[in-house]
Amino acid sequence: TFYLDESGSVYYYPGGNTQQQGQGIIAWEYIDDDDENFVSIEQWGEDDFEASQGYYVEEFMFSNILPSGDAQA
User: What confidence tier does 37 reach under pLDDT thresholds 50, 70, 90?
Assistant: very high
Q: What is the average per-residue pLDDT within 32-41?
A: 96
Q: Encode burial over 8-38: b for 16+ CB neighbours within 10 A, e otherwise.
A: eeeeeeeeeeeeeeeeebeeebbbeeeeeeb
**Selection from 44, 15, 46, 13 nearest residue 27 by Cα:** 44
Q: Does residue 17 fall inside a structural domain?
A: no
Number of residues assigned to the chain:
73
| Strand boundaries in the chain, DSSP class E | 2-12, 23-32, 37-44, 48-55
Q: Is the pLDDT of residue 34 over 70?
A: yes
pLDDT digits (tens, 9 = 90+) for 8-20: 999 999 888 888 8
- Residue 34, domain extent: 2-12+22-56
Q: Does residue 38 fall inside a structural domain?
A: yes
Higher model confidence: residue 15 or residue 42? 42
pTM (two decimals): 0.72
Q: What is the average per-residue pLDDT within 62-69?
A: 79
Q: Does residue 31 fall inside a structural domain?
A: yes
Q: Does residue 29 fall inside a structural domain?
A: yes
Q: Does residue 52 fall inside a structural domain?
A: yes
Q: What is the average per-residue pLDDT within 38-49?
A: 95
**Total domains in the fold of the chain:** 1
Q: Does residue 63 fall inside a structural domain?
A: no
